[in-house]
Structure 1
């Protein structure tokens, strides 16, 4: 299970978020708008916050001199994460986040309380989610634009953000497409992980830290490569944890990923094995039971899919470490420590990682 030892969430929102929410609350037009802002604010509190931790710690390790500006950009990255999480919940039809109703769930419940049909209440919740995500996204862009960095640095940050937004949107669209039931390759699944997760969660904070610290261009480029490897490894490990972890470890229902049936690397590899005919009825079954999930896990192990993904995580971790080894100290040590926090201590490469093949 991946654990994050990031700094705890502050009791008082950082200045960038404070400014964002103060402006929002000053402009509310009615009670419902006020609730939207309250729910949005609640989503920025708590959580692992490893993205801003990556940016702030690496910026300092690279010799960055303006901690206040770095903190402002780090907060913008976390606000961007909030926007993506809200939109992702709408796309996936989820109404709960971190054990409590998310934006969509909150407003769907309000719609039901006002007498709407379940379908209309659900659409009301989706509308609220889309709008709240848009507000957070606009706020993140504004906070970077007003972070206080030199104009040329701010332009580079905005260019980086634009590139990340493009790839993240492509990743989200691809994630939905590969779940439509057509033929999906392992390359497709890895592309989704790179575009949807690695781009904004790892490449963005790492490269932004280097840009703010006026690091050489080769360092900025190297951090992009490290971020891609680390981000894909992190997503693959998260996919493994989502199936094989417990609710206590992951904070979510251990049946959720199997019930949803997303075409992750784990499932894509399993689909090419001789065990797929046995496994297929359990993947994407919205009524999957504990016994069914237990059998699905057994088959994912038996067909070699679990070990194959573990081997991919191992190799990607190694590639990230190799990239980090080319960075100057103390940035090298800082990132090695963060890799251990995010992916755990290095382990021997899994043996017999090649999954069995079959016609199914």
Structure 2
């Protein structure tokens, strides 16, 4: 991917944080080094959406848009780091994540295994907190006029609250005795992904371009639909994807009993008893292949693919209504079918 002004702004944010941390403590500086690594490897479509929307709507605040795009990507990094702690994952995109990196350092320093895990989780929580604070600070100091900065901070605040609600719902639903409803699952998906990954960057770009409230609201709804489509595809990758190519586990969602629409739909089919027997435990390759077969035979995979396509189509219609070319997202968001071929890297 060609480096953009948002990439350069993100590099500056990370380096600034590392320099301030190094003046305090070498171990603290390692948190920022781990955060920097955590930003590598993603598609960075969030800052691209900020810049593309700003430019498409005739914005003239290019430097501010780059800073805000970098802030959105840093916000994404913070959520990813925290999400891995919640899920107990130590690998992201095929390499140790923040918790995995510090866990390995603890083991290398002769910590007991349990203590090393605790050390890794502690480091990840702190690193995510630092990234959240840096993202908000970057918006506040982006250089846009004060009115726009206040509107942007309101958008970031709303995205933070909504995403936190979605993350909590994700865990709550996974701990229910029975399956969630499809409506509950879709709300959770929307809250967890749409708000900060799609609605926020689209709306932020529009605000920086001076768009009126109606257009900003339209883009928020388009982002909501885009996010649901994206998360539905991500759920499919979480079971049917090739981890060596996507960097995403193909068993974690099954092990943690995530109430994704894929599994919620499967709970309504004749294959559910067999699928359910594989949930909540570690699966070997044969187990995984059997679950994949069952989810395909039940029609659950096709149901989710169709749902993702419908949400994407509705989103494109709203983008057009807001005065943006629907093709704005074509180069940023892979089609659901393409994501499942294993040729894309998970966000």
- Give TM-score, length-normalised by structure 1: 0.88
Distance apart, 1:32 and its partner CA: 1.5
Secondary structure of 1:178 counterpart: helix
Determine the C-alpha separation between the residues in 1 that align with 2:335 and 2:224: 17
1:112·1:121 contact (CA, 8 Å) conserved in 2?
Answer: yes
Correspondence for 1:179? 174
User: CA separation in 2, counterparts of 1:254 and 1:233?
Assistant: 19
- Aligned pair partner of 1:189 in 182, 185, 188: 185
* Post-superposition offset of 1:343: 4.2
Aligned to 2:117: 122
Tell me if the contact between 2:7 and 2:70 (Cα under 8 Å) persists in the aligned partners: no
Paired residue secondary structure (2:132): helix
Query: d(CA) in 2 for partners of 1:149 and 1:51?
Result: 19
For structure 2, list consecutive stretches of 5 or more residues without a partner in the other structure: 339-347
Q: 1:292 to 1:192 in 2, by over 3 A?
A: same
**Is 2:164–2:192's contact at 8 Å kept on the other side of the alignment?**
yes
**Equivalent position to 1:231, from 197, 221, 227:** 227
**For residue 145 of structure 2, what is the aligned residue in structure 1?**
150
Q: Distance in 2 between matches of 1:65 and 1:149?
A: 10
1:208 and 2:197 matched: no
Q: How does 1:29-178 map to 2 (within 5 A)?
A: 29-178=24-173
Which one has a bigger Cα radius of gyration? 1
Aligned equivalent of 2:265 = 269
What does residue 327 of structure 1 align with? 322
How far apart, in 2, do the equivalents of 1:19 and 1:322 lie? 35
Name the Cα RMSD after superposition: 2.1
- The equivalent of 2:250 in structure 1 is 254
1:342: which partner in 2?
A: 333
Change (3 A) 1:132 1:243: same
The answer to whether the 8 A contact 1:95-1:103 is kept is yes
**For this pair of structures, how many residues does the alignment match?**
336
- Runs of 4+ with deviation above 6 angstroms: none
Alignment partners' CA distance in 2, 1:203 and 1:291: 39
Deviates more, 1:189-198 or 1:43-52: 43-52
Structure 2 CA distance for partners of 1:11 and 1:301, relative to 1, 3 Å: same
* Gap regions ≥5 residues in structure 1: 1-6, 348-360
2: distance between equivalents of 1:281 and 1:311? 26
Distance in 1 (CA, whole Å) between partners of 2:62 and 2:55 is 7
After TM superposition, give the deviation of residue 341 of structure 1 in Å. Answer: 4.4
Distance 2:13 2:77 in 1: 16
Structure 2: distance between partners of 1:260 and 1:11 = 38
Measure, in 2, the Cα distance between the counterparts of 1:181 and 1:70.
Answer: 42
Q: Residues 248 and 133 (structure 1 numbering): CA distance in 2 closer, same or farther, change over 3 Å?
A: same
1:230-288 CA-to-partner distances (Å, cap 9, x unmatched) read 100110011112212223542233333333331111001111222111111122321x1
Deviates more, 1:9-18 or 1:74-83: 9-18
Q: Is the 8 A contact 2:90 2:96 kept in 1?
A: yes
Q: CA deviation at 1:13?
A: 5.5
TM-score (norm 2): 0.91
Q: Retained in 2: the 8 A contact 1:59–1:213?
A: yes
What secondary structure sits across from 1:148 in the alignment? coil
Q: Distance in 1 between matches of 2:6 and 2:209?
A: 26
Aligned-residue offset at 1:182: 2.8
Greater alpha carbon shift after TM alignment, 251-260 vs 136-145: 251-260
* Separation in structure 2 between the aligned mates of residue 12 and residue 53 of structure 1, nearest angstrom: 8
